Structure 1
Amino acid sequence: MLRLPSLAPGLRVGLYGGSFNPAHAGHRHVSRLALRRLALDRVWWLVSPGNPLKDRSHLPEAAARAAGARAVAADPRIAVTDFEAGLGEGRLGIRYTVDTLRWLTLRHPDVRFVWIMGADSLATFHRWKGFREIAARMPFAVIDRPGYTLKAMASPAARALASSRIDEGAATTLADRAPPAWVFLHGPRNGLSSTALRAGTIRS
Structure 2
Amino acid sequence: MKKLLTVTMILFFITSSVNASSTRGDFEGNPIVSVKTNGSELKVEDVPAINYNGRTMVPIYMLKQLGADVAWDDSTYSVNVTLKNEQTQNNVKETSIMNAYNWLSDTDMQIYMFASKLQQYMDLDQVPNLKDLLDRDYLELTDEYNKSLEYATSVYKQYGAETGINEILASQSKILESVGQTKELLKIWMTRKSDAQISSSLQMSVFNSIENSQKNIINTNKYAHTTFVQK
TM-score, structure 1 length as denominator? 0.24
Which one has the largest radius of gyration? 2
Q: Which has the higher helix share?
A: 2
